[in-house]
Amino acid sequence: MAQGQWERGADGGTWSRRGVLAGLLGAPVLLVAACNGAKGGGSSTVTTPGGGSAADPSPKPQKTSAAVITVSPADGTPNAAFANPVTVTVADGTLDSVKVTDATGRQLAGQLAANGQSWTSTDPLSSGTKYTVAAVATDQAKLQADANTSFGTATPANTFVGHFTPEDGSTVGVGMPVSITFNKAVTNRKAVQQAITVTAEPGVEIVGHWYSSTRLDFRPQQYWAKGTKVTLKLRLKDVQGAAGVYGTQSKDVSFTVGRAQTSVADLAAGTLTVTTDGQVSAVYKVIGGSPQHRTWAGKMVISERFEATKMDSATVGLGDEYNIPDVPHAQRLTTSGTFIHGNYWSAPSAFGSSNTSHGCIALRDVKGGGDPGTDGAKFYRSSITGDVVEVANSGDRTVDPANGLSDWNLSWADWKAGSAI
């Protein structure tokens, strides 16, 4: 074997120097041994010896550091488990420095053990990412050894996402909660909720509430103040929502609360009273649900708006009682099918005097919705998604808070009880 060559020891995992190249100082030799390139990671033992002196041209044995550095995941691992930390250990020495860096140059934080012989990353790894590791250690003779390795993390096969409302950049009413629906059931609710933050300017306490394993809403104790700027931060990438199921999103969403408008439909009086920025801005005559199909009571939030839409009783479990292809100025209040909408088929005298609908709240309108002077058109034009419509004296029970965006029907104590953190 020629000078400067290294050979593997009997244990198959340790390299030793057979000779040196005369007159060279700190030759750039990188040695990797005992690499386990299995899917889960494994570890690499990597050592580069310390230097001699180039001032003296006569051949001399080069001193080698006794420190042996081991890195896990092993050098060259293509699909390391991203849920596991990076570990660096040293035998016969102490660690001077450890740097773990991704392809963008972001460096992972880590914790060095008190004895200086091990280091463990504390920042989470990202899936589908390549990392490089550079470590330096010193033995008792003050000779340094270093290790330089790289590995890649696996991409999860089973993932989940959260579909959110309201949309980024939208302007909404004071009653709009942040509502997130997950496409797969979440069992690790605490980890998922911790990865989602909702903040407001001006600041206010905002709490999350789980309705089910697939729905998490956020709201403050009272309606938002007009002009509030709200930001949703989803940091779900690589968060384990359930066994073997990981999130993929890292996204920011912002929306603004517009003017403060709420409405109260008193179905005993047959009126809809609209209050805008603290002042009554309109009073309309309405039709509510009949004794056979009473309108839900309580606070509901406009979640969708349509200039015109088809309403078919078969879609809400009422058989063939009605099928109207062009209901004007329709605004959804519940998932189950409650709307506040224009009505052109009832007699004008019915508005404000009788409740005959199948559960919706109706305002006078015209076929096609083309008359801007009707109550249906005016209320529609004054409304935005996120406005609150509260129903009083309907004769029915309070709407289920999970039915649509009816979050405000829970007390603050009950709301907070549904948080996982």
Q: Which residues are catalytic?
A: 341, 360
The first and second tokens of residue 352, run together, are: 């404000």
Query: What values do phi and psi take at 102, rounded to 5?
Result: -90, -175
In contact, 324 and 342? CB cutoff 8 Å: no
- Positive or negative torsion for Cα 147, 38, 113, 195: positive
In contact, 198 and 252? CB cutoff 8 Å: no
Q: Which of 336, 314, 312 is nearest to 399 (CA)?
A: 336
Which residues, in sequence order, are CB contacts of 373 under 8 Å at separation 6+? none
The first and second tokens of residue 17, run together, are: 């120097």
Helices and strands of the chain, counted as H and E runs:
3, 31
CA distances 3 to 7, 13, 24, 62, 201, Å, are 11, 21, 12, 11, 69
**What one-character-per-residue DSSP string does 75-121 give?**
TT-SSB-TTSPPEEEEESSEEEEEEEEETT-PBPPEEE-TTSSEEEE
The first and second tokens of residue 70, run together, are: 């081991």
Buried b (16+ CB within 10 A) or exposed e, 82-117: beebbbbbbeebbbbebebeeeeeeebebebeeeeb
Query: What values do phi and psi take at 264, rounded to 5?
Result: -120, 120
Other beta carbons within 10 angstroms of residue 37's beta carbon come to 16
- Positive or negative torsion for Cα 101, 105, 108, 114: positive
Q: Which residues pair with 207 in a beta bridge?
A: 219
Tokens 């250690």 correspond to 137
